[in-house]
Structure 1
Amino acid sequence: MLEQYDRLRQRGVDVGLTIGPWTHLQTGTQGAATVMTEALDWLGEHLAGDGGRRRPSPVRITVTGAGEWRDLESWPPQTRDRVLHLQPGGGLAEDPPPSAAGPTTFAYDPADPTPAVGGQVVNPAISGRRDNRRLERRADVVTFTSAPLTEPLDVLGTPVAEIVHETDNPWADLFVRLCDVGRGGRSVNVSDGFRRLGPDDANRTVEVQLDALAHRFLAGHRLRLQVSGGAHPRWARNLGTGQPPATGTDLAPSVRTICHGVGGASRLRLPCAEG
């Protein structure tokens, strides 16, 4: 949907965009009144020629965490990048780690693949934003968590994780997730991204684009970045052998290294609201 909006806008088409706080199926239930009203108004303006525009701005989005609608001239809005560096010991901070800092490692085993929790799947019983604490306790998931925020932080756009990644088996995947950790410690996913890797790009800095979001991290909350080797079955597990995931039968594990010092510095780029 975002790509459709962007292409139409680049062509100079008069295009509107509405993004609400709904999963796929909730768009037809919780979001029905908003979606139908705006769609009929748009058709009335462009097809019936009723001469009126009821839409206050081309783009309307919900900022989750703040629980508010926001009117914008375009998407994404003007933002500034806030860079957070992955730290040894599981930290996430604006200051770069010491250049001599050692890496973080974890193992991925396709015989016991890292499971998917929530996210963009159709089944409403398992989709959307979920408590990730049980997932984060697994040995094949590493996390990097910021200090509590002293003031609210609005992230509006597409976060990008730059992971300096090494693996002893190049047939490997990277799953990266951004979570909002509340004052009580509950870790809730707000955006994630996935990259399937191979011999040409597994041992290098891997750029992972996360899903676009409009979310306010409240004061006292923390940001958490998860890094793992997959999210099965949302994405088919990487068998570690180069065989097709659907038909391959051989399995091979991998040991991963995430650098933040020696070998390079991994970081997270967040598009944050200005002002």
Structure 2
Amino acid sequence: MTKINKQTASMLTRDGIRLDADIYYPDTDTDLPVLLMRQPYGRAIASTVVYAHPTWYAAQGYIVVIQDVRGRGTSGGEFQLFVHEVADGIDTVNWVSQLPGSNGQVGMYGFSYQGMTQLYAASANLPALKTICPAMMAYDLYADWAYENGAFCLQANLGWAVQLAAETARLKGDAIAYQILYTASRDLPFYNPSSKFIESLNKYAPNSFYYEWLNHPEPGDYWQKFSPNLDGVDLPMLHIGGWFDPYLRGNLRLYKDMANRSKFPQHLIVGPWAHLPWGRKVGARDYGTEAVSSVDRLQVRWFDQFLKGIDSELLHQPPVYLFEMGSNQWRYFDTWLSDNQKSYCLSSTGLASVRNDSGTLIPQSESSDPLSVLSAATDVFVHDPWRPVPALGGHAAIPAGSFDRSTLDSRTDVLTYTSAPFADDLSLMGDVAVEVFCHAEQLSFDLCAVLSEVFPNEIVYNFTQGYATVSLGQETKPVRIELQPTCIKIANGNRLRLSLSAACFPAYPVNPGTGVSSAAMSLMEAQIITLTVNCGGNLISKVLLPIT
């Protein structure tokens, strides 16, 4: 067994800030490539919530460097969210490439913030950085992280802001603020937080990014300056995502961009995972032994290929490997499928908010004239901000994953549209969307769309969903919601269901209906919203399914 030596070392950035790192060396006289992770949670954690410990990676023949970013762990300076990661990333890659025992070849790995630090470093086109393995991160910070289709990702953003602020309070030795924030993290104050909580968060959230994000509800220059810029950058990349991860949009946006223009291999792996952990059980579902993460071994094969020149046989297989829920097996594709959407149309007797058998999904292909099989009806439901439809699983809620939502679908503020039982298995792989003709009298409203598999025993398991904020005037055309991409096999005899609601709280804030941003809203101002959805006639609402 290879002996691994660990040491702590420091470097200075161009502006004189000390950054500390743990370095894991295999006991060998051979010069080795370097694997680098830059992270803000204390380097001892080393993202072991999803990855093997650095000693394991070192034992595979690599020098492994886990660094505290500026202002975190024991590193010096002030932590400002994403602000210094390009310059510090450049300085760090250059430093680790010249470490004793390094052969000058550097690869990076890590997920979430650690995925972002890879992109920031890669944006500089550094000669020493040969490959990266970005996992569960944003390519567009606005659209992939902070907001989803114009809706603020409340639960994830507030939870993260509290975590970072609590860590800052701990590092500064402020026990009172730390206790307030720690307590709040166990019961997040989504409405009317106490003054002590606001004071503590404002004091220790880096640059109060949480409130800055709330106060920038539209894309623009504010977001552009923080989003990674990979124009002109080309590296082999292993892209890693999860079907229930909130940042899958960013993974796929980056993968599609790079696959379309890169001269280097771009591989994509997506498992049935939430943000963490990456195991076989997500929510209430068990996806079997095949779902247990193979990312560590896969990354080593990737690094062997591009840092050591070893033929690891990865390039002999299709570059897209996706876990197919339902069959609970991995499937391999030559590319991400993008032109395979087929329409299922919404039909109703007008009681889809009351009876689960009123709203139906009908394949558009069943009739050359879909109007002949679709009843022209409207479904009306009322959103009450006093009792908003709660979040349950999916990619944006905590906990994430698949749960039985049959109770939620029985609420009268949820519309359901269910297909007939399938005679054959239905395989879906790719991008999912819904187009819904709907309107409300208020200045704005939200629309949540959830797709589920309905089993013969009436258990209803969600597998993908999406969310959007709609403003007055947009309802003259269908509201289009891009759902989380998916890969699933729905077994014969089971049915498909679309559920529509006007809230998914606290994954997203309750829309007040006033046209005012949720940042400026108080609970008392939130209005009751009556929503009308059109089915059939000249206004055909539909689900666009990626059928393979």
Q: Same fold (TM over 0.5)?
A: yes
Instruction: Work out which of the residue numbers 52, 55, 66 in structure 1 matches 2:327.
Output: 66
The separation in 2 between residues aligned to 1:266 and 1:48, in whole angstroms, is 53
Matching residue within 192, 195, 209 for 2:468? 195
Q: In 1, are the aligned partners of 2:439 and 2:475 still within 8 Å (CA)?
A: yes
Matched, 1:26 2:277: yes
Partner of 1:163: 436
CA–CA distance in structure 1, aligned partners of residues 465 and 489 of structure 2: 16
SS at match of 1:45: helix
Structure 1 pair 134–122 and aligned structure 2 pair: CA distance change class (3 A)? closer
Matched, 1:57 2:318: yes
2:76 paired residue number: none
- CA displacement, residues 102-152 of structure 1 (integer Å, 9 cap, x when unaligned): 2111011222211111011474xx210010111111111010000100000
Tell me whether 1:38 sits opposite 2:298 in the alignment.
Answer: yes
Structure 2 Cα separation of the partners of residues 18 and 228 of structure 1: 31
Tell me what 2:492 maps to: 219
Please state whether the residue corresponding to 1:192 is helix, strand or coil: strand
How far apart, in 1, do the equivalents of 2:314 and 2:483 lie? Answer: 33
- Mapped contact 1:87–1:97 kept (Cα < 8 A): no
Name the stretch that deviates more: 246-255 or 182-191.
246-255
1:1-275 equivalent positions in 2, closer than 5 A: 1-12=251-262, 13-27=264-278, 33-54=293-314, 56-76=317-337, 80-88=340-348, 89-94=358-363, 95=366, 96=370, 101-121=376-396, 123=398, 126-249=399-522, 250-262=525-537, 264-273=539-548
1:33 to 1:213, Cα distance in 2 relative to 1, 3 A: closer
Q: Separation in 2 of the partners of 1:148 and 1:26?
A: 33
Secondary structure of the residue aligned to 2:547 is strand
Q: Kindly name which structure, 1 or 2, has the bigger radius of gyration based on alpha carbons.
A: 2
Does the 8 Å contact 2:346/2:362 carry over to 1?
Answer: yes
CA contact (8 A) 2:266 2:319 kept: yes
Q: Which amino acid aligns with 2:387?
A: D
Q: Give the C-alpha shift of residue 97 in structure 1.
A: 5.0
Structure 1 pair 32–270 and aligned structure 2 pair: CA distance change class (3 A):
closer
CA contact (8 A) 1:25 1:122 kept: no
Residues 44 and 100 from structure 1, CA distance in 2 versus in 1: closer, same or farther, beyond 3 angstroms?
Answer: closer
Q: Unaligned regions of 5+ residues in structure 2, if any?
A: 1-250, 282-290, 349-357
Shift of 1:236: 0.9
Identify which range, 210-219 or 27-36, moves more after superposition: 27-36
* Aligned CA-pair RMSD: 2.0
**Pairwise CA distance, 1:51:** 3.2
In 2, Cα distance between the equivalents of 1:70 and 1:51?
22
* Displacement after TM superposition at 1:188 (Å): 0.7
**Looking at both structures, which has the greater relative contact order when contacts are Cα pairs under 8 Å and sequence separation is at least 6?**
1
Partner Cα distance (1:228, 1:270) in 2? 20
Which has the larger displacement, 220-229 or 111-120? Answer: 111-120
TM-score where L is the length of structure 1: 0.91
Unaligned runs of 5+ in 1: none
User: Relative to total residues, which structure has the larger helix share, 1 or 2?
Assistant: 2
Supply the AA of the counterpart residue of 1:24.
H
Report % sequence identity.
27
